[in-house]
Chains A and B, each alone.
Chain A
Amino acid sequence: MTHATIFNALEESQTKAICDRDSLRIRFAKKLFPKIAFYSDYNEMIANESLDLVVVATPTPTHHVVVSSIIKSKPNVSLLVEKPLAVDYQHAKDMVALGKKSRGILSVGYQKRFRGTFRKAKELLQEGAIGEPLFFKGSFFTSGLAKRQKGWRFERGTGGVTRDFGPHLFDLLLWFFGEPTSFRSHSFSVISSDVEDSIHSEVSYHGGLRGTIDVSWVMPEYKSQELKIDVEGTQGSLQVTEDKLILQTKYGHNSYSPPTTRTFYFDELTPPVTFLFSDPEYTLQNKNLLWCIKSRNIPEQTFETAMQVNWFIDKILDSALPG
């Protein structure tokens, strides 16, 4: 409902229809939101409604079949698919191939790229503000899982913390540093029986950059999700989270200048939005996608970049030894 709300709030778009397979939710939603058409079958919705954009926020294992069906029946429709694009790299590759048959704009919901702090970090890394990156520590923690649960998120092949929770961090790391050349990982099943609840990975890159990655959904003290990336470079370092970015440069104008530290807060790095619901990056991402559809521009998070995240996930899982 987050996307339905935001798209209906933006001037350029209107939420026309929502599909949900739960009949009780449909019954309630129809009464609450009488101006929206509700369906329990997405094929029926796609056939009946004249839509420019469809948001696919279904369970990850269904993305392939839903996207395939939409592209085949309405190739002009643009798509925003929730992350991750697919359950594995092979399915993601198939979806990229499928996407070639679409005339719409295809995007994936890696909205953290629109968070002011991460955007600034990308900019600083690109302009060499900390020199050449030497190593990084990336982590993404939450307390989301308190007891053993059922469903696709907790089944081997479709779930686990690496596939379901890690992708935002992996997308940012790919955006910042590109593809690693080697992975060495350990997985830990703390609560779940069939999937990993925590993952630790060590990665290295051409040129010598190295990094460690930790992702977990069983960290009781992390009531809110916290994503953090610390990067050490030849000329300084940066620490970035959702909330702030701390930039430390070893030298000022020359090697005799003292080190400087500067803190940027997310609100000063985030452009104003016309509608604020949940975090501003959702509105910024959706607004950007509408602009891309209108101007026929390619969004930042395409099926191709999202496929690389699936590659990253598979590499971590393939290299993982039980902890």
Chain B
Amino acid sequence: MDKFLLGTNPLLGVDHMDRARARTRRSTLDLQAIVRIIETSLRAGAQGLTFTVGPDIYSLLVAMKGMDVESAIGLYPLVPDVQTFRAAIAEGKFLTLAEKLTKGLSLIEKTAAFVRGGVMMAKGDPIRLIELSVDMELKKLTKLKPPRATIKAVFIHEIMTDMAITLNAESLMKDLVIYISNFGVVPGFVTRNLCRFVEVCRGWGVPIERVAIMTPINKLGFQMTPSREACEVVLNELNGTKIVAMSPLAGGRLGLEDGISYLKSIHNLASIAIGLSSEVHARETFEYLRKAMG
């Protein structure tokens, strides 16, 4: 696991604090400008990227191939593409979902996926289908990523994680840990309900010391459920689990120094994922992070 990760969602117009700001950013940042921000981040100390898979990120990865950066890049994708997944399932359009998931793959890969998916559909096996969707995303990432980039961990999107831990999808959680580990990468989960996640997974015997957890951690307690204090207790108890702090600046509400000084008090952080929106901001942020926590 790399220590300093650039969260690319804000660059692609995802902003959970301010939708209007995200819209303005989307209209002013083209793909090349985003690539320049990523380049600057990597030169300043970022070691990897974290992002939700989807058409936007695949276009970005292709554009990153011409990047002028010599360092290795760790990739930390969040799967599945929940928007596509949810819309297709809600409308019962499984074929459309399969077409979207396999877009960009070779004819042989597509055919193999459709056959495998068809068998799983016939068997009514949702867990294998979810795993197949993870497989498709990893195949696309492997094909499209810049040569210096390596997939180091794969995170299950918070919508799927939090639904699974709440509606008792025990088999899904256990199987995903094994399935993702088989790719030689760290299996991870994103959650906005850390305390519940840890309690439920422990109860089920999910080996949380072998997984990575990406969760909001910040001084303001923004999105730390049920409270910052409760999350701190759980964070201090975890041993071996790789913790990735997201929203460390609470969506821009905290200054860099203020936000980072709080993170220093969390003793077992493996990584910090931070989103930003300009080259100047990228340089300042990662240089400061390297100095303060490197």
Contacts and interface: CB of A to CB of B under 8 A. Distances in A.
B61 interface: no
Contact of B89 (A25, A27, A243): A25
Contacts of B250: 267
Interface in A1-42: 1, 4-5, 8-9, 15, 22, 24-25, 27-29, 31-36
A181 interface: no
B22 interface: yes
A224 interface: yes
A265 B253 contact: yes
Contacts of A225: 19
Nearest to A275: B193
B92 A31 contact: no
Contacts of A22: 92
Interface in B222-268: 222-223, 225-227, 250-251, 253
B36 interface: no
Interface string A295-317: 00000000000000000000000
A31 B125 contact: yes
Nearest to A265: B253
A152 B193 CA distance: 36
A83 B26 CA distance: 30
A321 interface: no
Given A221-B27, A223-B23, A275 B196 contact: yes
Interface stretch (B104-112, B146-154, B163-171): B163-171
B126 A5 contact: no
A112 interface: no
B225 A5 contact: no
A33 B17 contact: no
A233 B275 CA distance: 38
Contact of B226 (A15, A35, A266, A273): A273
B66 to A, nearest CB: 26
A177 interface: no
Contact of B227 (A15, A27, A244, A272): A272
A318 interface: no
Interface of B: 13-14, 17-20, 22-23, 26-27, 89, 92, 94, 121, 124-127, 129, 159, 162-164, 166-169, 171-172, 192-193, 196, 220, 222-223, 225-227, 250-251, 253
24 contacts: A5-B167, A8-B167, A24-B121, A24-B124, A27-B124, A28-B126, A31-B126, A33-B167, A36-B168, A221-B26, A221-B27, A223-B26, A226-B19, A226-B20, A241-B20, A242-B19, A243-B19, A267-B251, A272-B226, A272-B227, A276-B162, A276-B225, A277-B162, A277-B163
Given A223-B13, A272-B225, 4 more contacts: A27-B124, A34-B168, A273-B226, A276-B223
